[in-house]
Structures are given as structure tokens and as C-alpha cells.
Amino acid sequence: MSDVGTLERMFGDPWDPANPLGHAAAVAADEREEMFGEGERLLDRFVLNAEFVPVEYGGRLTGLDRLVRMMRPVWRRDPCLGLGYGASSFIASVNVWTAGSDEQRRAFARMMLANRKIASVYHELAHGNDFARAEFAATPGPPGTLLLNGRKEVVTNAKRADSLVVFARTSPEEGSRSHSQLFVHKEDLPPGRMTDLPRFRSMGMRGVQLGGLLFEDCPAPADAVLGAPGRGMETALRSFQLTRTALPSMMVGVLDTGLRTAIRFTSGRALYGRTAADIPQVRATLAEAFADLLVCDAFGTVAARAVHLLPGETSVYASLVKYMVSKLLIEAMDRLSLVLGAQFYIREGEHAVFQKLLRDLAVIGFGHAARVACLATVLPQVPQLARRSWPAAAEPPADLFRPDAELPPLPFDALTAAASGRESLSTGPGALLDEHGADPDVRRLAEVFARELAALRDEALALRPRDLGVAATPEALAVPARLAAVLAASACLGVWRHAGDPFLKDPAWVVAALTRLTARIGTGDGRLPAPLAERLLSETLTRYADGRAFDLAGGPIPG
Amino acid sequence: MDALDLDRELGDPADPAAVFSYARCAELDRAEEFPADICRELDRLGLPAHYVPAEAGGALRSYPELIELIRTVSRRDLTVAVAHAKTFLGSVCVWVGGDRAQAERLAAKVVSGVPASWGLTERGHGSDLLAGEVGATPAAGPRGGYVLTGEKWLINNATRGGLLSVLARTDPQGGPRGFSVLLVDKGELPEGSYRLLPKVPTHGIRGADISGIAFLGAPLPAGALVGRPGGGLELVLKSLQLTRTVCAGLSLGAADQALRQAEEFTARRVLYGGPLVRMPHVRRTLGESYAARFVAEAVTLAAARAVHALPEEMSVVSAVTKAFVPARIDELIFACGELLGTRAFLTEVHDHGIFQKLSRDHRVVSIFDGNAAVNENVIVDHFPALVRGYREGAADRDGLGRALDLSRPLDAPDPARLTLRSRLGCGLVQDLRAAVARLPAGPAVTALAAELLEACDEVHDEMSRLAPSVRDVPARAFALAQRYELCFAGAAAVGLWAANPGWRDEIWLESGLSYVLARLRPGTRRRGEVFDRLYEAAGRDGGHE
Amino acid sequence: MSNAPSTEDLRIWLIQRVASYLEKDPSDISPSVSLTQYGLDSVYAFVMCGDIEDHLDLRLEPTVAWDYRTIDALADHLTTLVDRRAGGAG
């Protein structure tokens, strides 16, 4: 069996101090700045890598939303495992499935299924997210070879990976056709031409081996190129649509543990003669964190399903999920840290996992694409979206919002670097207003977001071409940022309308979710009124007591 | 010695050969080692005397100056600042409640470099001082004195401190009159009468001595009692009014360093074909961060001068300062971190990783000496007085004038005037209408000031509608307290402006008020270009520092 | 001040105040029980102090309810203060 429940059970109760796979062990590994060894061995046994390999290549990858759910137990316990064991290979893999030849895909699958590691080698410190200026070069060498020259820095698993997917300049010309991605096996490289740079230490993700590589006239087989030469940039942008969607959504597991830690802390703690969980301010913070978690999951899940169902639209969703979800998660953890008080600051004892999660999340929040870069990716598409899709586009298929509905296979070849001005998710609030008998609170909030979309349309149409590039003003960048909130609200509305589960069918959570999101569009402070907060908190505490996850699926978890 | 002297004496922090260098601080952080050599250097330069009131033989005459000294140390390294300035916290109870002889004895020790520590918290009780279990019972025998038993935990400098002000239960029943403050001189305790608890590993300030002490029937002389028996809680709460104000210096120093990192990086870094700072959103973020720091400075300055001029109002003023300033600076640090990208979390690559260090270190400022919830609770408790004072426009105008007019000398602080409940509310906010009326400013600022006043009216209306609740303070009350803090911040900026014509370029007030109003009225969409102008103006004014 | 409240008036008034803080019925409040036992601890005292000051037009130490811990003790103390003022005023 290889479902989420099995993986959860194999990990066991994270709060049991004697569990070698629990929080105490993960924190101890972090203190040693090492990967969580027991965790890695477990994931080897589980062959987690199979989750990154499509079924036709022998793996278990059937859908992006399933993949996200499978990764949550890992992120719930240790983000270093999530990144250093999981996501790093996933990022590399996507480029191979998107652009690789059949032979390259088979080779990749073989390695993955044998529990090997493959590093995704993009980053150069001097250029950050500006991939177009990457200097690392692959130039023609002796017949049949490419010569690699340059440095790559802050690369996850650079040292311990067996193979690399490398982003390299293959033409000195400026622009977007000057790079290629290379799938290189270390064993094919002659000794002495590729050296490891010293490890980069970081304040979070301390266990992850962030390394670097220096190539000096290092020959690599010419057929290492993934896809047509010069297409590297496009491949990267297409791959980002999967990684930017899936990674932040996996990290919802981090907030699950953060919230669980805060509840555990408050219910055991006497303060002023009562437990901290009795204090209304604390109750509101817990309820709001739960609402934020549901927003993150709804937006992430819908965007993941959109990759299957609406591949032409996902370039918009993916970047905005990354922008919105990473911010919501970091802020929710920050507020929860106030509940823990001084306890949050301590690196030992049963709540020590919290400060580790906070540091890990801070690092990944800045990860492979900073949040402004995500907005800048969407901004140029915004005027077209306004002209072609707002507010009259047809509604998306209902299966987009039904996590249990079957999905068509991942259409790697149908992903496009930029959507052609189409986007249908934002129809959510408008469609709800056309329905009769909707809950009045939901209607009121749907109206807020429908009005916001109309305002965004006007502002988008007024944007001038020079507002759309690197000189974009903060006001212009605010348009995709606010669009992210409208899309997240739409995702929540969609999940609610199509839900079968009693809690998800109830308007309470969607009213809470949309209320939280009003703060993102400047129409409210996002705080939940006390009765609504109590309603959500009661669900949170029930799930906590019953051992169920806080996400939409709410599946059983140990501990 | 003023802050500039101190900074000059300490030398260039970028020079790894300096005692107090960035490189050394980074190394100590990695090793989780106490910055003993740096603290000795601060002792040598005479900093401890500034923790001691002039009347007792020290050099503390002005709280604004003390805060600037702490800011200067914090700008270089927060761990050092927290480790060294702790002596002020450890001795403050004696300055507030001790007798003259006691104060002079302590003063001599502090000036000679003996670190003092403050033993308030205990394991499992968090900020709930009344739950404290460390007990002091009367000693048998004619000389009196106490026997101290129990464990203080999560105490800054518990191990290294030679002196400890301990809040101990002197009435087994506890209650607000059941505690007393005792000054413990570790050097005088018999061997075996106390035990030091191990260093607690922390998220930030990793080098600091965060530990604890267990008293095992430690005998204390009668003279260890500070103030009245049973007066401990009151004394601690009054002392906290001073320390919560002083804490703002830690935040301002961290803000200076975070901004310096962001400025230098964005000026040098070339991305998308030009320096990062050419991108409008980067300039906006920097400009808004300057505005945030300016507002925090205005709050801190008004509060620090109020220690001298309006001590009766410090219960409100210190609670606002401690709840507001560290939280805003945490946000500022986050914003600067987004500009630094990868370099915000690498510990060795960029400038010795000092950014990631300060981002971890600064988190502690919100936590100690009462977190935001504790302080906001104090504000909520004052709501009735604040509403009434605001409606009446009540203020101690003489005191307020002395607090705000920077040209006027400060009287010696008089701790005897501190009180646990400000009867008058908060004159700074309550005088806002009058201050706005006489504000010498152009139309943009005048409009913003009028809007601030309108927002303050709304906030006080909402405060008046909140039924007083003793046990279950609703979450809404805390939200309202946070909005009150913004009213205070706006009033501090306006008040300082009105009292000091030509203080700074008007763009500072315009952007400061814009910053405050954006948070006070989140539903109103407003243009942020004022922050772009502030960024440009700050550059013209000779550096963004 | 001929219409100064009696100790009994003050006791009844205090019982009503305390009951309203606790959202309880006044009949559930005993004037001889320590206020701490009702869960009214240190900070509530300041709120109450302000209310008493307004009611009696008196100036009080904010810690008055720390030192006089039952309604009975507080009512006696307040009566003394009110009488002293009346006496002082002639």
C-alpha cells in the first residue's frame, strides 16, 4: 500500500519522544545540521521517489494533487526531508518529463526508483531569480561533447546527487533562446573537472545539503541536452507551473504541525489560573490559522487539479499560488508563535519543533522564486486576461473542485509558458451570485470579490506596456497580488459548492476563509467575528482530539 | 559618553580585528558562546554607569540617551545588547523601590562591572507573575532575613550575573500583596545554597546566557528586601514601565542594521540589467521601511521623555511602546529580508550572515518583559480612562510640553511618581485635536492629520462601546488596543512636529502618517508614492541612516 | 456632604460592580469572600479602582483592592476615606 495513511502510520506518532521518526529526532538532526537519517531510510523503504515518476515509467505519479497529499506527511514532520529528499528530486524530474527524450525519461525513472538522488542545478548567487542572465555555460567541445564551465551555488543535494539537471547558457546571445537544460550523470564526467564547493550553511533547512559545483572545461555528452537546444528557458517556465503549484501546497503540512504544536501548548498550560486555550485572543488566533490553512489547501488543490484540467491556464495559477500560499503560511506561523510566547524561542523540549519549522519555512519562502518574481511573471498577462476573460469567461469544470474526482494524466506537453489570456477560475464569486438561495454571508463576501475582480479589470486595462516589465510599479504589481486573493476566494467557493463532506458543505469555513482573504484586498481586517471563530475552533479541536489532519481531506494521522 | 562617542570608541564593526566586530559576533553565535570579551570592552568604556541613576552615583540622567546607547550596541549586535543591558533590568527595582543606602551599594557594584540579572519567570508559568512559586520565608534568629527556595528559569544572565533581583512569594497565599523583591548577591550565598541551571538553547541570541537558578534554602540578610514586604508585584510592574520603554532601543538598533543591509545590497546587486534599487518596488519597500523606523523613533522618543515628564502616564505609554515598536520592527526586518532574498538566510555568505542573525535575535524583543498580549491587556484595562480623557481633551499640558519640546531639558526621573494606573489616560493622544490645530504643515500633511484625528475618534468610539470585561477579554478588544497603538504613534509624530518646528523635512511626517493610516484604516486604498519620495529625500539627506 | 453613602450603600454598590464584572447575579457574590477567589486578580483592580473613583469622586491608589481584598474590607476603607474628606471639608 502506498497511500497517505500508510505513510503516516509508518512515520508513527511524531510526539512520542521515543519514536526515532518523531519530532524530537528531527529536531536533533537539525541541531547537528544533518539530514534526518531515519526519515530518509523510511522514505527509501517507501520508495517515495516513485511518487515523482509517471505510471507509464513504472512509478506512482498519477496526479499533482495526489502527489501534494502524499508529501504532506513528510513536510508535517520535517521540511528538510520534504525538500532534501522529496521536492528537490521532483523539481529536477519535471524538466525531464516536460522536455526529455523517451530514453532520458527511462534513465531518470530507473534512477529514481532505485532511491538515487538527482539535483536540480539552477541557482547562481550572482543572478538569483534572473535565470536569463545565468552565466554557467555549455559550449561545443570535441565532437559529441559539450564543455561545461562555471559555478552553481546554493544547490540542494549538489554533493550527494548521482545525477544533475543543469541549467546552462548555450548561446552568448541575450534573450530567452540562449539556454538549455542538461541531464548529466556524475559518473560520465572525467575526474577533476567538476569540484564541490563548500557547503552553504543557512539558518533554516539546516539539515539540507546546500552545496555548489564548479565546472572547469568539463566535458559532458552532447546528447545530455533535454529537448531542443536553446529551449531551456521555456522548459523551466513550463516546469515552474508544476513546482510553483505543488511545493507551497505540500508545505501546508508545516502549518498543520505548527497549529498542532500551539494547541498542544495551550491546552497543557495554566495561565492566570486557567488554560491558555480559554483565552479568547488565543482561540481566535488558532481559529484563524485553521482558516488560513484551509485557504492554502483549497487554492493549492484547485491549482494542482487545474494543471490536469486546464493546462492552458496554469501559468497564472501556479505563480499566484506560490505568491499567496507561501505568504499565508509564514504569517500564520508568525501569529501562532505569539501563542507559544517564550516557549517558541526555545530549541529544546516538546515544542522545539516549532522554531525549527519557522526557520525552515522562512528559507523555503524565499526559495526558488521570490514572491515578487511570481507577481512579475503574471503581470504581463494581466491586460490580456482582463480583455479576454474578465468577467465573462465560462465556468471551469466542476471536477476542478472535487478532490476525489478522477483526473486525466498530467499533460506535460500541453503546458505553455504563458497562458493565452485565458483564465476561468475567477468566475467563482460571480457564478455564486447568480445562484438562488445561497447563504447570505457567503453571498455578501462573494459580492466583495466579484467587485474586486471588476475593479481589477479596470486597473488592468489601464496598465501601460512599460508598467509590465522590470520597471513595474508597486501599484501594478498589486494587481496580480489582489488577483491571487480573488482566485483563492474562488477556489474556496468552488470547493464549498461541490463538497459532500458535512464540514466542507457547511458555509462556516468558506465564510471564514473569504473573511480572512478580505485583508488581502484591503476591504477588511480579516479578523473572524467571535461566533465564527468559535465554530472553526470547535472543528479544529475535534480534529486535534480525533487525530485528523487540518487540511481539506482531514485524514487520520497518528499522535 | 553619548551614543556617538560609544560608537566611535568601539571602532569599525566591519574590521575583523575590532573587539566588537560583525565577524566576531557571527563566530560567537555559531558557537553559542557568550560575548564575554565584547561585554568586557563595554565595561571598560564605562557603559554600566549609564544603567545607574546619577543620584545613586551613576551616569543615567536621561532615558532618551540610555536608549540611544542601547541602540548603538544593538545596531552592531543584539545578542551583546541583550546580554549587557540586562544589568539595567536586573537593578531597576532598586532604583525604583530601594532605599538610598541600598541604591548606593548596588550602584558601586554595577559601575564596577558586576552584571545584574532579573529573576521573574519560572518554568511553566510564562508571564503569569502571580503564579510564581519561589518562596522566601522569614529566617529564624534575631537578625531576621529570609530563606529563599525554588527555581527561577529562563533568566537572562542567571549564571553570569553576580546579583539577582528576585520576585519571591513572601505570603504562602500569594495574591497581589503576596510577593516581595529580594536582591540576591550570589557572592554572599553559602556554598551549596543555590544551583545554576543549564543554558537553554534558543532560536536567536544563541550566545546569551539564558539559564536559571535554583535556590536551595539560600539565606538572605534582612537588607536584601527591596521596598516593602508584599510590595513586590507593584514594584515589578512599575519597574517594567521603565524597562519596556528602554527595550525600544533594541528594536531601533536592529532596524538600523536591517536597513543598512538592505540598502547596501540593493545598491550593489545587479539584476535584470541594473541595480536592484532601480526597481520601483524595491524603492517603495525601502521608503516604507524608513517611514516605519521613523514612526517607531517618534513613539520611542515621546515615551522616553515621558519617563521624565509624564511618569504618571507610563503605565499606558510603556505598554504601547513595548507592544508597538518590536512588532513593527519585526515587520521591517521581514520586508528587508525579502529584498535580500537568498542572502537573508545564508549564515556565512553575505556580511558574515548578520542579517539572518538579527532576524532571529530580534524576535526575542517582543517576547521578554511582557509580550504584546500582556501589554495590550494593560491598554485594554485603561480603555475607560482613555475614552474619558480623549473626550475631555484632558492632558497635563505642562508635562506634555516638556515631553515633546526637544529643546527643553529633562528633569531627573522620579520613580516615586510611577503608578500602576494612569488616572489621566494618555495626554499625548488626548491632546491630538489641539496639536493638529496648531500643526505647522502644508496641505498634504494637514489632510493626513485631519484623517488621523477622524480615525482616533472612531477608535475611541469603539473603545467606549466595549463593555469592560475582567476575565474574558474578547479578541476584538486586543484588535482595538492595536489600533489604539497606531493612534498613539500618529499622535507622537504630530505632537513632536507641532512642538519642534523645523524638526525634520516634512516628508517624514507625511510618510509617517501615511504609514500609520494605512494600518489604522486598512479598508481605504491609498497611494504609496509618498514612500518613493521619502526614499529619494532620505538619500539626499546624506545617507539612508 | 450630607448625602455621603453609608458603608452599607457602598457594600451594595460594590457587590453590583463585582457581579457585573463577573457577569453573575449579585446574590451570588458574598462580601466576605476574597475577590481573588472569584477569579478577579491583580489587573481587574485597576478597572475597579477607576469605577470607584468616579462613583465617589475620590482619588485612590490603583492598588486599593490589593490591600482591601474583600468587599467588606473595601467598603469599610472607602467609608473611612469618604468620612475623612467630609470631616476635612468642615
Label residue A140 exposed, middle or buried (CB < 10 Å: 0-12, 13-18, 19+): exposed
Please, are residues A95 and A129 in contact by the beta-carbon 8 Å criterion? Answer: no
pLDDT band at A439 (very low <50, low <70, confident <90, very high): very high
The reply to whether A277 and A226 lie within a common domain is no
Of the listed ranges A78-82, A513-517, B10-14, C79-83, the least confidently predicted one is: C79-83
- In whole angstroms, how far apart are CA B493 and each of B299, B317, B362? 7, 14, 24
Please, are residues A147 and A217 in contact by the beta-carbon 8 Å criterion? Answer: yes
Of the listed ranges B205-209, B425-429, B539-543, the least confidently predicted one is: B539-543
3-state secondary structure B513-532: HHHHHHHHCCCCCCCCHHHH
Q: Residue A529: its pLDDT value, please?
A: 95
CA distance A282 to chain C (A): 19
Q: Residue C1: its pLDDT value, please?
A: 43
The Cα–Cα gap between A537 and A287 comes to 5
Q: Any idea which residue has 475582480 for its cell?
A: A453
Could you tell me if residue A551 is inside a domain? no
The Cα–Cα gap between A168 and B7 comes to 47
The Cα–Cα gap between B37 and B10 comes to 12
Could you tell me if residue A237 is inside a domain? no
Q: Which residues of A touch C (CB under 8 A)?
A: 272-273
| Percent of chain A predicted with pLDDT > 70 | 97
Could you tell me if residue A236 is inside a domain? no
Q: Residue B341: its pLDDT value, please?
A: 87
Joined together, the cell numbers standing for residue A351 give 515544542
The reply to whether A298 and A404 lie within a common domain is yes
Q: Specify the CATH number for the domain of residue A212.
A: 2.40.110.10
For chain C, how long is the longest CA-to-CA vector? 40
The reply to whether A147 and A73 lie within a common domain is no
The reply to whether A134 and A97 lie within a common domain is no
Q: Which residues contact A547 (CB under 8 A, 6 or more apart)?
A: A556, A557, A558, A559
| Percent of chain A predicted with pLDDT > 90 | 79
**pLDDT of A495-520, one tens digit each?**
999 999 999 999 999 999 999 999 99
CA atoms within 13 A on the CB side of A248: 39
Q: Which of residues 359-378 of B touch C (CB under 8 A)?
A: 377-378
CA distance C38 to chain B (A): 10
* Residue (of B306, B353, B391, B60) closest to B206 by Cα position: B353
The reply to whether A444 and A515 lie within a common domain is yes
Q: Specify the CATH number for the domain of residue A63.
A: 1.10.540.10
Q: Residue A364: its pLDDT value, please?
A: 79
The Cα–Cα gap between B426 and B392 comes to 12
Does B35 sit behind a cis peptide bond, omega within 30 degrees of 0 on the bond before it? no
The Cα–Cα gap between A5 and B338 comes to 36
Range of the domain at A190: 120-230
Q: Can you tell me the mean pLDDT for A217-233? A: 93
Q: Residue B467: its pLDDT value, please?
A: 76
Q: What would the DSSP string read from start to end of B147-181?
A: EEEEEEEEEETTTT-SEEEEEEE-STT-STTSEEE
Q: Residue A366: its pLDDT value, please?
A: 57
- In whole angstroms, how far apart are CA A103 and each of A108, A163, A226? 9, 15, 11
Could you tell me if residue A242 is inside a domain? no
DSSP 3-state assignment of B103?
Answer: helix
The reply to whether A192 and A297 lie within a common domain is no
**pLDDT of A256-266, one tens digit each?**
999 999 999 99
The Cα–Cα gap between A157 and A159 comes to 5
Question: Which chains neighbour C (Cβ–Cβ under 8 Å, 3 or more pairs)?
Answer: A, B
Q: Which residues contact B134 (CB under 8 A, 6 or more apart)?
A: B119, B122, B148, B149, B150, B151, B152, B166, B167, B168, B169, B215
Residue B119 clears pLDDT 90, i.e. is over it:
yes
Of the listed ranges A70-79, A190-199, A486-495, C60-69, the least confidently predicted one is: C60-69
C39 in reach of chain A (CB within 8 A): yes
Q: Can you tell me the mean pLDDT for A280-290? A: 95
Q: Can you tell me the mean pLDDT for B519-539? A: 90
Higher pLDDT, A469 or B49: B49
The reply to whether A186 and A222 lie within a common domain is yes
Could you tell me if residue A326 is inside a domain? yes
The reply to whether A215 and A272 lie within a common domain is no
Q: Which residues contact A480 (CB under 8 A, 6 or more apart)?
A: A319, A320, A323, A375, A378, A379, A382
| Rg of the Cα atoms in chain A | 23
Q: Do B202 and A474 lie within an 8 Å CB cutoff?
A: no
Higher pLDDT, C45 or B145: B145
Q: Residue A273: its pLDDT value, please?
A: 56
Of the listed ranges A145-159, B267-281, B502-516, C28-42, the least confidently predicted one is: C28-42
Residue A422 clears pLDDT 90, i.e. is over it:
no
Please, are residues B162 and B114 in contact by the beta-carbon 8 Å criterion? Answer: yes
Could you tell me if residue A244 is inside a domain? no
The reply to whether A97 and A137 lie within a common domain is no
Chain A residues lying within 8 Å of B364, measured CB to CB: 345
- In whole angstroms, how far apart are CA A250 and each of A254, A361, C76? 8, 12, 65
Nearest to B128 among A271, A280, A524 (CB): A271
Please, are residues A512 and A532 in contact by the beta-carbon 8 Å criterion? Answer: yes
**pLDDT of B291-322, one tens digit each?**
999 999 999 999 999 999 999 999 999 999 99
The reply to whether A37 and A51 lie within a common domain is yes
Q: Can you tell me the mean pLDDT for A18-26? A: 97
CA B140 to chain centre: 41
Q: Specify the CATH number for the domain of residue A327.
A: 1.20.140.10
Residue B170 clears pLDDT 70, i.e. is over it:
yes
DSSP 3-state assignment of A409?
Answer: coil
Chain A residues lying within 8 Å of B203, measured CB to CB: 344-347, 355, 358-359
Complete domains list, chain C, with CATH: 7-85 (1.10.1200.10)
| Amino acid symbol at A176 | S
Chain A residues lying within 8 Å of B126, measured CB to CB: 269, 271, 341-343
The reply to whether A63 and A210 lie within a common domain is no
Q: Can you tell me the mean pLDDT for A63-80? A: 96
B284-303 in b/e form (b: 16+ CB < 10 A) is: bbbbbbbbbbbbbbbbbbbb
How many independent structural domains does chain A possess?
3
The Cα–Cα gap between B27 and B230 comes to 45
Which of A55, A87, A117 terminates a domain? The answer is: A117
Mean pLDDT by groups of 10 residues along chain C of 90 residues = 78 91 87 82 73 87 86 94 74
User: Which candidate in A124, A151, A281 is best for mutational testing of the B interface (most B CBs within 10 A)?
Assistant: A281
CA distance A154 to chain C (A): 52
CA distance A327 to chain B (A): 11
Q: Residue A223: its pLDDT value, please?
A: 94
Please, are residues C68 and C77 in contact by the beta-carbon 8 Å criterion? Answer: yes
Residue A270 clears pLDDT 90, i.e. is over it:
no
**Counting runs of H as helices and runs of E as strands, what totals does chain B give?**
20, 10
Q: Any idea which residue has 470579490 for its cell?
A: A449
The reply to whether A300 and A383 lie within a common domain is yes
Q: Can you tell me the mean pLDDT for B44-50? A: 98
Could you tell me if residue A553 is inside a domain? no
The Cα–Cα gap between B422 and B424 comes to 5
Which of A64, A88, A117 terminates a domain? The answer is: A117
Helices (H), B341-426: 354-367, 372-381, 383-392, 397-404
Question: Which chains neighbour B (Cβ–Cβ under 8 Å, 3 or more pairs)?
Answer: A, C
The Cα–Cα gap between A370 and A359 comes to 16
Please, are residues A240 and A299 in contact by the beta-carbon 8 Å criterion? Answer: no
Could you tell me if residue A385 is inside a domain? yes
Which of A117, A133, A160 terminates a domain? The answer is: A117
Q: Can you tell me the mean pLDDT for B176-185? A: 96
pLDDT band at A42 (very low <50, low <70, confident <90, very high): very high
Residue B544 clears pLDDT 50, i.e. is over it:
no
Q: Which of residues 1-20 of C touch B (CB under 8 A)?
A: none
C45 in reach of chain B (CB within 8 A): yes
Q: Residue A302: its pLDDT value, please?
A: 98
Q: Residue A418: its pLDDT value, please?
A: 63
For chain A, how long is the longest CA-to-CA vector? 79
* Element at A447 (helix H, strand E): helix A440-461
Residue A369 clears pLDDT 70, i.e. is over it:
no
Please, are residues B156 and B210 in contact by the beta-carbon 8 Å criterion? Answer: yes
Q: Residue A312: its pLDDT value, please?
A: 87
Residue B523 clears pLDDT 80, i.e. is over it:
no
Of the listed ranges A57-61, A124-128, A353-357, the least confidently predicted one is: A124-128
Q: Residue A414: its pLDDT value, please?
A: 78
| Amino acid symbol at A415 | L
> Can you give the pTM of this predicted structure?
0.94
CA distance B378 to chain A (A): 14
